[in-house]
Structure 1
Amino acid sequence: MRYTSIEAEQRYDAVVGVAPRTVVGLDFDGTLAPIVDDPTRAHIHPDGAEVLVELAAEVAAIAVITGRPARQALDLGGLEAVGDALQAAGKELFVFGQYGNERWSSGRRRILGARPPRGLAAFERDLPRTLRRAGASEAFVEDKGLAVAVHTRRLPDPDAAFERLLPPLRELAHTHGLVLEPGRAVIEVRSPGSHKGMVVNRLAAVLDAEGFVFAGDDLGDVEAFEAVDELGKQGVATLRVCSASDEQSVLVEMSDVVVPGPEGVLDLLRRLARDARDRRA
């Protein structure tokens, strides 16, 4: 765990001081779950569920905010069982899938979602031709229902394929009224107008949060970091945590704390729970 400044260490202490009124937001892939070649096998870190239950005793609520479909996150994370444990303790777990277009909570127990965006079906129809022209026909295409993700990690040269695909996929997305979100060996195309920052703002308002922690690892988390920064300017105690990797560094400069991947994130959450418990005692 590395603080990026003296002020960052002070921000951590401020969050500990208001832990009972703090919301903890967490990305899934690369933050709670290690990045793997097959995204359908990206299970939460083995210690994840235990740490989330421990942390929930000290904070107002925990929210998993991901680009994945909510059902995938629930299944790969074992989050319904985590939600049961939190509900029994009088706390709530939220899961926001597809950048907030899908919502689940341990209190309501069902997924509420939007319809697929206009243009997505046409994008998928044109996608195979675009992949062939870019020499990436073997890229893994993941249909998320409300979005499409093109993964290059399995290709012989993932980085080169990613760079070749980015311009034509951006053009194709624009043609069909969609937006493109680059990530770690993945390019996601989805509807405009929804991002993780909107979820952060909604949670902070609905839960009347006095503190907000967000941990992420990739470009899709930038808006969440920006939203947390704005909350800090409004007087909310905030902490931005980068789950660092060799593949992506953009969040490092925006962060208060940098940790080594999902294991580092869980170590930080354990420490936060322990320090909040000690402060309460």
Structure 2
Amino acid sequence: MQFSSPEGEHRYADLVRVADRTIVGLDFDGTLAPIVDDPTRAHIHPDAADALIDLAPQVAAIAVITGRPARQALDLGGLEEVGDAIQGAGKELFLFGQYGNERWSSRQRRIVSPRPPRGLATFERDLPRTLRQADAADAYVEDKGLAVAVHTRRLPDPGEAFERLLPPMRALAEAHGMVVEPGRNVIEVRSPGAHKGMVVEKLAAELDARGFLFAGDDLGDLEAFEAVTELEKTGLAALRVCSASQEQSALLPLADVVVTGPSGVVGLLRQLRLDIMQSSAIG
């Protein structure tokens, strides 16, 4: 765990002091789960479940906020079992899928989801032609139900293919009333409106939080970082954690704490628990 500045270290200490009213928010891919070529095999770090379960009694709630479909994240992360353990400790695990369009919690035990957005079906109809024209016909297309993600990671030059494909994908999305969410060698197309920042704001208000930690790794987490910054202006303790990688550095200038990938996130969660317990013992 590396603080980006003395201010970051102070923010961490402030968060520890209000831990019992703090929400710990976490992205999934690149934060809890390593990035892999096949997104259907992105299981969370082997120590992440225990770290979440151990930390939960010390904080107000834990929330996983992801662009993945909620059911997929629950299955890949074993999060229903994690939720059972957290609920048994008298706390709650939240999961927000597809940038907040889907919601599940360890208390409600069901996924609340809207209907697919207008324009998605016609976008999917026109997508193969756009991929062929961009010489990316072999890109992996993931149907998320409420969104579509095109992965370039399996192509010969993933980065170059991503840059080549982004402009026509953006144009196609706009033609169908959709928006583009670029990521690490993935271009996601979804309906406008929902984003991770909205989840941060609403959950903080719902739980009357006094602190919010959010950990992410990619461009899709920018809105969450910005929302945490806005909450800080209202007096909440705030901490922005970047799960850093060589592929993506957009969050680094905004982060208070920098860790290396999911293993670093697990280490942070464990250290946070120890620091909270030590602070409580002193207090």
Aligned equivalent of 2:173 = 173
Aligned equivalent of 2:36 = 36
Aligned equivalent of 2:161 = 161
1:201 Cα offset (Å): 0.3
SS at match of 1:113: coil
1:160 Cα offset (Å): 1.0
What is the letter of the counterpart of residue 151 of structure 2?
H
Distance 2:87 2:267 in 1: 23
SS at match of 1:159: helix
Matched, 1:86 2:86: yes
1:280 Cα offset (Å): 1.2
Q: TM-score if structure 2 supplies the norm length?
A: 0.99
**RMSD across aligned C-alpha pairs, in angstroms?**
0.4
Q: How many corresponding residue pairs?
A: 281
What is the letter of the counterpart of residue 247 of structure 2?
E
Distance 1:161 1:268 in 2: 34
Aligned equivalent of 2:152 = 152
4+ residue stretches of structure 1 with deviation over 2 A?
none
Distance 2:52 2:3 in 1: 22
Aligned equivalent of 1:201 = 201
Gaps of 5+ in 1: none
Distance 1:278 1:54 in 2: 15
SS at match of 2:54: helix
Matched, 1:212 2:215: no
Distance 1:236 1:112 in 2: 28
Q: TM-score if structure 1 supplies the norm length?
A: 0.99
Matched, 1:134 2:134: yes
1:200 Cα offset (Å): 0.1
Distance 2:131 2:204 in 1: 41
Q: How does 1:85-124 map to 2 (within 5 A)?
A: 85-124=85-124
Aligned equivalent of 2:242 = 242
1:157 Cα offset (Å): 0.7
Q: Percent identity?
A: 74
1:279 Cα offset (Å): 1.1
Distance 1:163 1:69 in 2: 25
Q: Encode CA deviations 1:244-273: one digit per residue, 9 max, x unaligned.
A: 001110100011001001100110110001
1:174 Cα offset (Å): 0.2
What is the letter of the counterpart of residue 157 of structure 1?
D
